[in-house]
Amino acid sequence: MSDVRIIAAGIHPFGRTPGLSGLQQGVFAVRQALAAAGLDWRDIQFAYGGSDSAGNADTMVSELGLTGLQFINVANGCATGGSAMFGAYSTIKSGEFDLGIAVGFDKHPRGAFDPKPADWGLPDWYGETGLMLTTQFFAMKTQRYMAEHGISVQTLGRVAEKAFANGVATPHAWRREAVDLETILAAPLVSDPFTKFMFCSPGEGAVALVFASAARARRLGLDGVRLRAAAVRSRPPGSFEVFSPALDIVRGPSPSTLASRAAFEMASVAPADIDIAQLQDTEAGAEIMHMAENGFCADGDQEAWIVEGRTRLDGALPINTDGGCLACGEPIGASGLRQVYENFVQLTDQAGARRVGGDPRLGYSHVYGAPGVSAAAIVER
């Protein structure tokens, strides 16, 4: 069983890129990652890649080169990137190959995602009630969580304020202007309790990560970061996830909790050991709920954490240091890999003005997708 290292990373800026397809943005990210590692596409032994609405990732071989490598397409909702990374991790861990790549990209049209009930095994009535609209579902879920655990609307606003502040210092972010708390709270309401600044937007972008065994990384003279854990889990009984047609009376854990526990066990570390975290934040409430689901605090403690600034760049546990989905937007295929990219540049001292304080050693990432799939990863400098 080989140790797995991420030795290089590439990113195409998130946002809107007229005239460039999602696939071409993926090719851009791959070429940037290869250049950073001093590698050629012909050196790569395998690839995992995915997108939601921009074509099959394996078709990028037409531009990168027809080398005959093993290329697996991945589709797992918003957890596509995390799942592609799990494939790369497992392939090298098994010893089958020692050099590969995970890539994710997307190019979504303007407006909210518009999934169809039948595609998710749901009856038409579920869509007719409006619950296929994810903005409405997550607003309802957050309302329930706020009522149960004493989370205020002001705290939702502070999550968004932090995200946009971090985005200012992030070259790949879509939203790079600070927005003050008063403006966020006074903005038009989209789905109560969320104003327009508390939701991310579907967008475009791409990320590629190069993976190697520890032995291959040494031969290449590239340290990068060690991928100590990668885990993917689906929803258990009693969880209440996007596209859930009912809320069970007997509640169970979430897929995020299961993936988190698996990752911490695999890495032999605890939440308190983590120095920097990237958590799924498709809306401000998600970051709050995922802080608890991933074991970083108890339900309800987020109110104090955020007021005290503990999740800011100079806080005890910086969260979503590049602005997360709120500032970067969410191209589904790329989003989970963007989180790992951010931890990579933070731990290898390439984050520039948004670099966190201290001497971070362990980075955590978490992505969550419909209809209840979560991936978690831990990297170490």
User: Which two structure tokens, joined as six digits, stand for 7?
Assistant: 């030795």
**Residue pair 108/53 in contact by the 8 Å Cβ criterion:** yes
**Residue pair 294/260 in contact by the 8 Å Cβ criterion:** yes
Helix 332-347 vs helix 22-37: angle between axes, to the nearest 10 degrees?
Answer: 20
CA atoms within 13 A on the CB side of 282: 26
Tell me how far apart the alpha carbons of residues 42 and 138 are, in angstroms, rounded to a whole number: 44
pTM assigned to the model: 0.95
Say which residues have a Cβ less than 8 Å from residue 374's Cβ, sequence separation at least 6.
Answer: 79, 82, 232, 233, 254, 255, 256, 258, 259, 260, 366, 367, 368
**What is the chain's pLDDT, residue by residue, as a tens digit (381 residues)?**
679 999 999 999 999 999 999 999 999 999 999 999 999 999 999 999 999 888 899 999 999 999 999 999 999 888 899 999 999 999 999 999 999 999 999 999 887 777 888 888 888 888 888 778 888 889 999 999 999 999 999 999 999 999 999 999 999 999 999 999 999 999 999 999 999 999 999 999 999 999 999 999 999 999 999 999 999 999 999 888 888 777 788 888 999 999 999 999 999 999 999 999 999 999 999 999 999 999 999 999 999 999 999 999 999 999 999 999 999 999 999 999 999 999 999 999 999 999 998 899 999 999 998 888 999 999 999
Nearest to 91 by CA among 72, 104, 105: 72
pLDDT of residue 1: 64
Count of Cβ atoms closer than 10 Å to residue 75 Cβ: 16
DSSP 294-311: TTSS-TTTHHHHHHTTTT
Sign of CA dihedral 83, 86, 90, 96: positive
**Residue pair 104/335 in contact by the 8 Å Cβ criterion:** yes
**Three-state DSSP class for 283?**
strand
Element holding 82 (H helix, E strand):
helix 80-93
Count of Cβ atoms closer than 10 Å to residue 78 Cβ: 25
Provide the terminal-to-terminal Cα distance of the chain, rounded to the nearest Å.
Answer: 20
Q: What angle do CA 11, 12, 15 make, to 5 degrees?
A: 125
Q: What angle do CA 52, 351, 315 make, to 5 degrees?
A: 100
DSSP 116-167: -GGGGT--HHHHHTTTTSHHHHHHHHHHHHHHHHT--HHHHHHHHHHHHHHH
